[in-house]
Structure 1
Amino acid sequence: MSIAVIGAGAFGTALAISMARGGGDVALWARDISSLQETRQSPRLPGVNLPDSVSVTAELDEIAQADTLLLSVPMQSMSSALSQISAPLDGKSLVACCKGIDLASLTGPAEVLRQKKPLATAAILTGPSFAADIARGLPTALTLACEDDEIGQSLQLQLSTPALRLYRSTDVVGAELGGALKNVIAIACGACIGQGIGDSARAALMTRGFAEMTRLAIHLGARPETLAGLSGMGDLALTCMSEQSRNYRFGLSLGRQEPFDPGITVEGAKTAEAVTRLSQQVGLDMPICKMVYHLSTGQVSVTDAIRTLLSRPLKEE
């Protein structure tokens, strides 16, 4: 079975490299292929060459011929990217590798896949991972979520490599919400450290943030054990504690009152807005996510955000 990756950012390129190392040919789609074809390197993954078995193309309909398509495009761009593929993709497996909630539909990537390509099978690849680690072949474990467990088993075998270990789940909602919401909490943790209020405060934000993640996910039908796994707690721990995380670095810049490169995609900022609207719709209290939304849009300062959270009424854990 053939594999194609749509999106030649750091993560998409890293996945293409990893899949190629696992054996077989991989097609990688990029808008601008001239540099990749000439240098066989991505500027976002310096020092890592594309294997010879990775072909690069700018033709979406060409890449759509693959049996399995990994979509590594930003969450807010996924719907548009799928609309540009004229082929119906009947019977193919579409694996979303982004993390977030679509602002237009307030749904996760799996539902966007189903809406755009209903005759394909939707799956999610998520968990604690940095593109540089995957590209360098460092050991990484991820969650592969697919409601059809038979197809999920096939994808697990197809996409696992000696260095990339995939754990299977049928809980798509839990997997995608864990991946989406941890980015929001990472922004909060970055702002906390950037403001200089300490590791104890960060630990509190991670813990209470995890409670918010779990609260919403279970309300929407997820299983709590999914949130305790790689796609939830595992990804939360990694993203909230490393400057390799774009969301954490964005939070650091907010806490330090420093400018942040607008060309860097920060999925957690849009997710904070989407989850604030979604939580209001379903009647759930998610104060940290709401505060990150207000913080990332400049509606409150970090100092005011901290003061507001600390002044909330005392309650049982």
Structure 2
Amino acid sequence: MPVPGIHFEEDEEDEHTADDALTPLQLAAWEGDLATVSRLLQQGVDPNETPHGWYGKTSLQAAALRGHVGIVDLLLEAGAEVDAPGGNNGGRAALALAAGAGKSAVIERLLIAGADMNLPPHRYMGRSPLQAAAEFGNVGIVKTLIEGGAELEGPMAQHFGRTPLQAAAENAHVDAVEFFLGHGASVNTPPSRYKGVTALQGAAACGNVDLVHRLVEAGADVNALGSYYQGGAALWLAASAGHAEVVEMLLNAGADQSAVSGNQGKQCTALQVANLKGREDVVELLKVWQKNGVTSIDHAPG
């Protein structure tokens, strides 16, 4: 019976097959079975067995993701490649996986072993270690990587890519957002082409009022275009998710109600998407502003 692969995104779960099955060593590393890992390595099993399928992971990646420090040590001593790529879609190297899972002890081991803090992310859903740490929201890990030389504005994946600031904002990690802004992160980096968001779009989509306010205050463009595929402007995303307070805040900041967003060929306004999703509070709010030509909340009808 093949063992399913290790997946960390919905897209992967939808598409994986038995071809992604783990080898015995990869499975033991994933499960934290130190005795089996040790036995297999002593028998001469290659610590760098090729990951299977589109989303496979090396034994080191599997152990790093789960935080199995002892197994990480064994694999590194046996010659595991610290920056090896994952399956056919590239995946994420061991350091990015550990950073994205908040595994500080593993991160320490991998850095000592020479893991590249600025390894470019694979174009398909890849993450640099810093981008992954920002997504997880552990400011301590973020600081460790920055102090070690991680690039704040490094390249991001074409598909579902995120800068550190975008990743932190989308996941409502307020402290991480403040850290990145304080270190000069660009607040208006455009979204990745597929399933991307600006920092403000990410905050608007998750409905975090404080982050939306902070990013607007920092100069975020409220009318920045969304990504080409499954993207949307901040107002459109907030309206689609039913975040009325965020919608009101964006309108007050000058968001364009007439702008259209969404997939090519299926674009619509914020009001139209709110209607489509049944967001009644947002629909009423947008209609009031549209009817009265409101440009500031201070002048909205009582």
User: TM-score scaled by structure 2?
Assistant: 0.31
User: TM-score scaled by structure 1?
Assistant: 0.30
